Amino acid sequence: MQKNSSDTAHTQNRYDLIAPLYNVMEWPVEKLLFQGWRSDLWQQVEGPNVLEIGVGTGKNIPYYPDDIELTGIDLSPKMLQRAKQLLAKHQKGNVTLKEMDAQQMDFPDNHFDDVIATFVFCSVPDAVLGLREALRVIRPGGRLHLLEHMRAEWSPLASLMERIDGPLHYLIGVHIARETVVNVEKAGWQLQQVRDLTKGGIVKKIEAIKPR
Ligand SMILES: C[S@@+](CC[C@H](N)C(=O)[O-])C[C@H]1O[C@@H](n2cnc3c(N)ncnc32)[C@H](O)[C@@H]1O
């Protein structure tokens, strides 16, 4: 059994509970910010064989390019169920969605050309383990594309985030004080570009490559 299996079960449980409310809760920020960021991120994806980790309710589905083969995974069956409903509306025949844990994926080594995830490594219980798995399943030279929120760079806000991280994780399964850029490097990825999308470095776009 995995060392962090109780944390993984907790995360799955929280996203299963949140699934019916997720799109409503995110609606304002989705309209104001996320849609533009998603569109920009997907323009960097070349494929043809692409893995999306943590598809959630399928918010990236409208941005999937037609000329790629996409495999999407998520830990939460209830989030995934919503993604499948949305996928049926978009009629994308090149997409397969599966329930799977990013920390322990069923894919062979060097299988994908790109890996993409949006607002996911704040929730994967062991983020470095998940990022290491992503590195394993992508081919050498393949690229990782992330949108992630993380611990603020301004230390008074970072301390506040650290203080409320535990209770928030308990309530909704998310960590708000992660150091995701550091985690990407710890997992063995080579950073290509890190861009701040908000003040204080709270949301970043991260591009990295699997060393050849
Ligand atoms: C904040 S939501 C983001 C969903 C979507 N990517 C988006 O942009 O709206 C985080 C998602 O990551 C999934 N997740 C968390 N831990 C995971 C893991 N270990 N393996 C796969 N998915 C995971 C959750 O179930 C949830 O659907």
CA pair distance 128, 115, nearest whole angstrom: 15
Q: Return the CATH number at 70.
A: 3.40.50.150
Q: Give the distance (Å) from ligand 1 centre to CA of residue 54.
A: 4
Residue 124: φ, ψ to 5°: -60, 125
Q: Give the distance (Å) from ligand 1 centre to CA of residue 74.
A: 6
Mean pLDDT of 186-190: 98
Q: Give the distance (Å) from ligand 1 centre to CA of residue 160.
A: 24
**pLDDT exceeds cutoff 90 at 3:** no
Residue 163: φ, ψ to 5°: -70, -40
**pLDDT exceeds cutoff 90 at 4:** no
Atom 27 of ligand 1: nearest residue by CA position: 56
CA pair distance 179, 31, nearest whole angstrom: 26
Domains of the chain: total: 1
What are the tens digits of pLDDT across the range 65-109?
Answer: 999 999 999 999 999 999 999 999 998 889 999 999 999 999 999
What are the tens digits of pLDDT across the range 6-39?
Answer: 999 999 999 999 999 999 999 999 999 999 999 9
CA pair distance 95, 71, nearest whole angstrom: 6
Instruction: Report the nearest atom of ligand 1 relative to the CA of 34.
Output: 8
Atom 26 of ligand 1: nearest residue by CA position: 56
Mutate to test the pocket of ligand 1, among 84, 123, 171, 174 (most ligand atoms within 8 A of CB): 123
Q: Please give the residue range of the domain that contains residue 110.
A: 5-209
Which pLDDT belongs to residue 1?
39
